[in-house]
Copies of this chain bind each other. A is one copy, B any other.
Amino acid sequence: MATVPLIDDEGASAEVRAVFDDIRATRGSDFINNFWRALAHDPALLRATWERLKAVMGPGALDPLTKEMIYIAVSVANGCSYCAHSHTAAGRAKGMTPEQHGEVMAVIGMAAQTNALATALQVPVDEAFLA
């Protein structure tokens, strides 16, 4: 259970409903996942978070699947259980293959390992990286 009530469609205020409508239209799906239903207890936070997410995750210099794989990586490193689930699902919905998923896992594991080693050894930054 969440630390706040989840807002279903019936309980949504007009302000919340407008955001839910935009999520549905943007994603081309009727499904509103629990993250947004939890945020909806605070309509201003819901709106600000959704507006920014929509702007950040749309196509640009990087394609949406690449962005989603980066999102998975951050979510895992931050230890967010909900986010690991939701963004792995989102990656698949955007076409991530099992082979790609496996490689994302391998890079995440490798990075976690060398991050720990670099921190343990307190490696000084090379001059070449500061140029």
> What is A's interface to B at a CB cutoff of 8 Å?
1-4, 6, 31, 33-35, 38-39, 41-42, 44-45, 48-49, 52-53, 55-57, 60-62, 66-67, 69-89, 97-126, 128-130
Contact = CB atoms under 8 A, between A and B. Distances in A.
B52 A86 contact: no
Number of copies: 6
A22 to B, nearest CB: 17
Determine chain A's interface SS by DSSP, over half rule: helix
Given A41-B98, A107-B67, A117-B39, A31 B112 contact: no
A97 B124 CA distance: 23
A109 B116 contact: yes
A68 B87 CA distance: 19
